[in-house]
Amino acid sequence: EANPSVKDDTSLETIVRRFQDTMSEAKTHKFWETQPVGQFKDIGDTSLPEGPIEPATPLSEVKQEPYNLPSVYEWTTCDMNSDDMCSEVYNLLKNNYVEDDENMFRFNYSKEFLRWALRPPGYYQSWHIGVRAKTSKKLVAFISGVPARIRVRDEVVKMAEINFLCVHKKLRAKRLAPVMIKEVTRRVHLENIWQAAYTAGVILPTPITTCQYWHRSLNPKKLIDVGFSRLGARMTMSRTIKLYKLPDAPVTPGFRKMEPRDVPAVTRLLRNYLSQFGVATDFDENDVEHWLLPREDVVDSYLVESPETHDVTDFCSFYTLPSTILGNPNYTTLKAAYSYYNVATQTSFLQLMNDALIVSKQKGFDVFNALDVMHNESFLKELKFGPGDGQLHYYLYNYRLRSALKPAELGLVLL
Ligand code: MYA
């Protein structure tokens, strides 16, 4: 007999989406079946070795010319130092990038954010790849990579992190994406790098793990007004506002913004913390300086400096990623903070993250989002995060894991 309580809290949309997810595994992937990625048919085959699926080839064997695009389009390399080029990428993404399942919200990464995300230490301009319409010169598609060191078990592997794949809405389903993926792969190979990491909301062959987004309301009235959340059963607006109320200032003594002088201590703290996860980013001081020093409206980092010893004992960070609210007469933008890397050694993880919520509320964010990666599970429910309906799948290119990870075994957050 069906369990009515399970049936009741499962909407038709959820059932349909789960069914589609299941079917997409059975579906053929004309492009992905040709790529060195874990294939669905190999799931559970523990005889396959862990590590690169294909060996690196001599650089002289890497194709020297770009892949062919349909004749009306041409490749362009995007110089993110140029304001004009940066604006073109920004506008393409603002109008055509990722939306939620119900098409109510669309990511609106800021120009400063894109500059930060695409120019880390050692970045390659050749990995910032655009496609233009030949006649109008309009930018119609984009894909990017940045270099990163990612540790898989005991091995630190040089990889490309691939992000911001976007094809203009009017040019969808024309198989442009596979050509763009092949072209970025070629340009990554030219730098003698043979692996990549990426995330997507869609299921492809084959996720190394599947994470869930959780959301903590900071401005519940607005979130309800714009349809991001719903008033709970037996809840009024005023009870809801009270439920999510936070103190005006952080409570942990010694809690302050990270500064340049903190880079060595934060690097030690993070490296030590991340060493316990099966797959994790391998940050050195240069990376920490780039990825974690606060940048206004891009990334925020706070730490706890012990008032007695002046040691840096705890750290939390989040990045700024607003979404455009589509078709709402009263609001245009949802201000969201996304949990990035957090480490607690002396402060309780709960109190540390509550302080992160407090400062993000003070900064005017409407919602604080976090994935169930690393030790995040331990604070989500208690700090009144609710599970979202979006899933995020993590992938490696040309690197096989013998078995999938749990989200809590992942120490990697992509933007
Ligand atoms: S994830 C964010 C992706 N962007 C969006 O969701 C924005 C809105 N959507 C779009 O702009 C388009 O729908 C996109 C697809 C561009 C996504 N990742 O051209 P098509 C496969 C990988 O006809 P379109 C992010 O940025 C699909 O399964 N593959 O389709 C990380 C099918 O292949 P197959 C995807 O809808 C990106 C083929 O493309 C994705 O017009 C990581 C259809 O092509 C996706 N998100 O365009 C990229 N969506 O038949 C991989 C669809 O086989 C990097 N597809 O199923 C791999 C590593 C490369 C470097 C390696 C170095 C060594």
Distance, in Å, from the CA atom of 178 to the CA atom of 196, rounded to the nearest integer, reads 15
pLDDT of residue 48: 94
Closest residue by Cα to atom 30, ligand 1, is: 173
96-104: long-range pairs with CB below 8 Å, 24+: 96/166, 96/167, 96/168, 96/169, 97/164, 97/166, 98/201, 99/326, 100/390, 101/13, 101/17, 101/389, 101/390, 102/13, 103/326, 104/226, 104/227, 104/228, 104/325, 104/326, 104/327
Distance, in Å, from the CA atom of 39 to the CA atom of 205, rounded to the nearest integer, reads 5
Report the separation in Å between the CA atom of 189 and the middle of ligand 1, taken as the mean of its atom positions. 19
pLDDT of residue 360: 98
174 CA: nearest ligand 1 atom:
23
Beta strands across the sheet bearing 333-334: 105-107, 323-325, 333-334
pLDDT of residue 134: 98
Pocket of ligand 1, candidates 129, 165, 172, 191: which has the most ligand atoms within 8 Å of its Cβ, to mutate?
165
Closest residue by Cα to atom 44, ligand 1, is: 175
pLDDT of residue 27: 80
* CB of 202 sitting under 6 A from ligand 1: yes
Neighbouring residues of 122: CB distance < 8 A, sequence distance ≥ 6? 147
**Residue-by-residue pLDDT tens, the chain, 415 positions:** 222 233 234 555 555 555 555 555 668 999 999 999 999 999 999 899 999 999 999 999 999 999 999 999 999 999 999 999 999 999 999 999 999 999 999 999 999 999 999 999 999 999 999 999 999 999 999 999 999 999 999 999 999 999 999 999 999 999 999 999 999 999 999 999 999 999 999 999 999 999 999 999 999 999 999 999 999 999 999 999 999 999 999 999 999 999 999 999 999 999 999 999 999 999 999 999 999 999 999 999 999 999 999 999 999 999 999 999 999 999 999 999 999 999 999 999 999 999 999 999 999 999 999 999 999 999 999 999 999 998 999 999 999 999 999 999 999 999 9
Longest dimension (CA), the chain: 67
97 CA: nearest ligand 1 atom:
7
* CB of 195 sitting under 6 A from ligand 1: yes
- 386-397 and 209-217 strand pairing: antiparallel
Tokens 């993590």 appear where?
Answer: 394
- Output the CA torsion sign for 304, 371, 87, 82: positive
Active site residues: 415
